[in-house]
């Protein structure tokens, strides 16, 4: 058992339910995503207060390009707006921002905003990672391509080799994987990294996810015995 007072070092979250939240209120989808940004703020703050050092959030998947163009464009604008607005706060609070995914496929303007925020926050003690234009399978494909380009012999490739070529090899694997919105699937998120993560799901839609919900997830984590295949 992890221990009743155990706190995960790294929490990964699939932030599901923004569009349903908006639909229930007869609002455009982007209104749900904007409400979800407020949830990120309080979740990050409370997670750090509890002692969580790494928080990784699934924001936009490689499959999300199939959504309505207006929603996709709105999400791109929202990420840029949020980065520009929140960077100074992250610096002040000592939070390092990371963005993982196929960032090179985003607009040059958005890539520039991301790069500036990452540089500005690089001295942070704790880390918030945004998975944007991200897919777990795509990450593994990109890692394999990097290994091949590096000329590593096939017999020399092991799990450590692959792990070292993932998007953020310096970040420890998640201890706790949270999914909001009532679904029970991984949705192509951190497929390599969550191999031994504890899973916790809630029907609560992401914009309504509260600090109480986060505390419940952390308590569930502390009640479990982590076996790591043993």
* Catalytic annotation present for 188: no
Distance (Å, whole) CA 230 – CA 228: 6
Secondary structure of the chain as H, E, C letters: CCCCCCCCCEEEEECCCHHHHHHHCCCCHHHHHHHHHHHHHHHHHHHHHHCCCEEEEEEEECCHHHCCHHHHHHHHHHHHHHHHHHHHHHHHHCEEEEEECCHHHCCHHHHHHHHHHHHHCCCCCEEEEEEEEECHHHHHHHHHHHHHHCCCCHHHCCHHHHHHCCCCCCCCCCCEEEECCCCCCCCCCCCCCCCCCEEEECCCCHHHCCHHHHHHHHHHHHCCCCCCCC
> Which residue is catalytic, options 5, 16, 18, 188?
16
φ, ψ (nearest 5 deg) of residue 65: -60, -20
CA separation, residue 38 to residues 53, 116, 180 (Å): 20, 22, 15
> Which residue is catalytic, options 5, 64, 133, 155?
64
Distance (Å, whole) CA 210 – CA 50: 14
* Catalytic annotation present for 215: no
Catalytic residues: 16, 64
């Amino acid at each position: 058992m992890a221990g009743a007072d155990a706190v995960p070092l790294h929490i990964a979250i699939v932030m599901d339910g923004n569009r349903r939240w908006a639909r229930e209120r007869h609002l455009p989808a982007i209104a749900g995503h904007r409400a979800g940004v407020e949830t990120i703020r309080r979740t990050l703050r409370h997670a750090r207060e509890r002692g969580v050092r790494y928080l990784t959030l699934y924001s936009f998947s490689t499959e999300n390009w199939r959504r309505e163009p207006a929603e996709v464009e709105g999400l791109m604008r929202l990420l840029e707006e949020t980065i520009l607005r929140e960077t100074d706060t992250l610096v002040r609070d000592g939070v390092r921002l990371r963005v993982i995914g196929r960032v090179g496929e985003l607009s040059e303007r958005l890539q520039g905003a991301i790069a500036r925020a990452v540089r500005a926050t690089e001295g942070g003690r704790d880390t918030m990672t945004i998975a944007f234009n991200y897919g777990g399978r795509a990450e593994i494909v990109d890692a394999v391509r990097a290994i091949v380009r590096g000329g590593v012999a096939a017999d020399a490739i092991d799990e450590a080799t692959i792990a070292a070529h993932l998007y953020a090899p310096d970040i420890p694997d998640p201890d706790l994987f949270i999914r909001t919105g009532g679904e029970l699937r991984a949705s192509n998120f951190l497929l390599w990294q969550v191999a031994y993560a504890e899973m916790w799901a809630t029907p609560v839609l992401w914009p309504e996810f509260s600090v109480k919900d986060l505390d419940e997830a952390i308590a569930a984590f502390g009640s479990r015995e982590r076996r790591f295949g043993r």
